[in-house]
Amino acid sequence: MDLVKSNSYLSVMEDNNSDKKQLRLFTRDEVNQEKERALVIVGKFVLDVTDFIRNSLHPGGSDVLAQFIGLDATGAFEAMGHSMRAKQQALQFVVGKILEKS
């Protein structure tokens, strides 16, 4: 089962963040128009990858990630088949959630 989409993975993300901070809700436009930070969308979540990119910490390289700044990287993140460790690492970057139109 795809862990990014599965409830278990999402609940890990929720649990990891709920007690620490109130997640800000973003529209996709707000993520796209952010000027201060490098934000990417993975699943329902908004990740701040500013330092990850700036400090060249992504094992897959900064460029592949940088091309998704302001955009939805879910498909690429999943297609790469990232390890559980990578998914856990992604949790640390969560700063918000996508406000889906109802």
Residues at the contact surface with ligand HEM, assessed by CB under 6 A = 40, 42, 47, 49, 58-60, 64-65, 68, 73, 76-77, 80, 82-83, 85-86, 89-90
Strands (E), the chain: 24-26, 39-42, 45-48, 94-98
Nearer Cβ to ligand HEM, position 26 or 77? 77
Nearest approach, Cβ of residue 100 and ligand HEM (Å):
20
Nearest approach, Cβ of residue 41 and ligand HEM (Å):
9
Structure tokens, 93 = 């970057």
Q: Which residue has the tokens 């809700």?
A: 25
Nearer Cβ to ligand HEM, position 82 or 97? 82
- Nearest CA among 32, 16, 4 for reference residue 94: 16
Nearer Cβ to ligand HEM, position 25 or 64? 64
- Is 50 buried (19+), middle (13-18) or exposed (0-12) by CB count in 10 A? middle
